[in-house]
Homo-oligomer: A and B are copies of this chain.
Amino acid sequence: MQFEQELKQKTAEVEVLLDRALPAEEGFQKTIFSAMRYSLMAGGKRLRPLLIRETYRFFGGEDMSVVEPFMAAIEMIHTYSLIHDDLPALDNDDYRRGRLTSHKVFGEAMGILAGDALLNYAFETAAQAIDAAADEAVLHRVVKALQTLSRKPGIYGMIGGQVVDVELTGKEIPEDTLRFIFELKTGALIEASMMIGAQLAGADDSQVALIEKAAHHIGMAFQIQDDILDVTSSMEVLGKPVHSDEKNEKTTWVTLYGMEQARADVDMYSREAMDILVGMEGVKAPKETFLYAFIEWLIHRQY
C-alpha cells in the first residue's frame, strides 16, 4: 500500500511535468499543439519517464533539471509510436485507453503530423537539457544520454521491431523473430529509459552496460507477462479487451512455448534483472530503492 501510494504520487508528478513540457494551444499552428496534448495527456502508466527518474536516483542522481527534459522526451516518443501504430494503414484502431485515437479526432493527415511533431519535439525537449547542464562533466553526461535517446527508438531499436511486427502481421512468426520483435519493439525504450537515467547520474560505462542488460531482461519479462495477461486476465482488470492475440491468431510467447514455460521465463528474466540491480557496485542498499520495488511491481503486475 505504501508502494502504491508512492507510485501514484510519482505518476502525478510526471503528469505535471508532461503538461508543462507541451506548448500552449495558441498560434497559427494550434491544431497540432492540441493534437500533441490530446495524445500525450491521455494517461497511461508513465513507465518510461518513471524508469528514467528512478534509475537516476538509484545511481545517486539528485538535481532534476537535466533529467526532466528526458523524462518528457521519452514519453513523447512512446506516444508518437502509439499514434502512428493506431493509423488506418497500420493497426486501424479507433480507440485507445477508452478514448478515440488521434486520427479519429483530428483526421488522418493531422494524426500523421501529430506523431511526427511529438517525435521531433522529443529531441527538441531533450536538447534543452544541454542548457541545464551546470558544468562540463554534466554536459558530457547529457550528450551521452542524447545519443541513447536517438539510437534506441530508431531502426536498431523500437522502429526496427515495429517494422518486422507489421510485416509479419497475420503470419506465423519464428522463435528468433519473435524474440527480435520483443527486444526491439518493447525492450528498446525500456533500455533507453534506464540507460539514460544511469548516464545522467554519472554511472560509468560498465554500470551503464549492466543496466542495459537488466533493462533487456525487464523488457522481456514485461512483454511475456503482457502475452500471459492477454490469456488469463479479464477486461475489467486489464482495462482493454483480452484474448485479442487469440482472435488475431497472433504468435505470442504463450502460443510458442506454452503457459507454464512463459511463466517460468517471466520469473527467470525478472530474477536475472533483480540480481544485476542487487549486485551493482557502488550503489547503497539497492533493495531499498524505489526502482527495485517498481520493477518488481512492473513485472508481476496483473494489469
Contact = CB atoms under 8 A, between A and B. Distances in A.
Interface of A: 23, 27-29, 31-33, 36, 80, 84, 87, 89-90, 107-113, 115-117, 119-121, 123-124, 126-127, 130, 136, 139, 143, 146-147, 150-151, 153-155, 159-164, 166-167, 177, 180, 184
Given A89-B108, A123-B150, A166-B113, A32 B155 contact: yes
Binding site secondary structure of chain A: helix
A233 B107 CA distance: 35
14 contacts: A27-B160, A28-B160, A28-B180, A29-B161, A32-B155, A84-B116, A110-B163, A113-B159, A117-B154, A119-B119, A120-B154, A124-B154, A136-B136, A139-B139
B160 A143 contact: no
Q: Would you list the 7 A-B pairs with minimal beta carbon distance, nearest first? A: A89-B108, A29-B160, A123-B150, A120-B154, A124-B150, A32-B163, A89-B109
Contacts of A123: 123, 150
Contacts of A143: 127, 130, 139, 143
B130 A23 contact: no
Nearest to A168: B28
A59 to B, nearest CB: 21
A23 B159 CA distance: 14
B113 A116 contact: no
* Number of chain copies forming the complex: 2
Nearest to A84: B112
The residue in A90, A139, A163 that gathers the most chain B C-beta atoms within 10 A of its C-beta is A163
The CB with the most chain B CB atoms within 10 A, among A27, A127, A153, A161, is that of A127
Contacts of A87: 112
Nearest to A133: B143
Nearest to A125: B150
B90 A155 contact: no
A155 B124 CA distance: 10
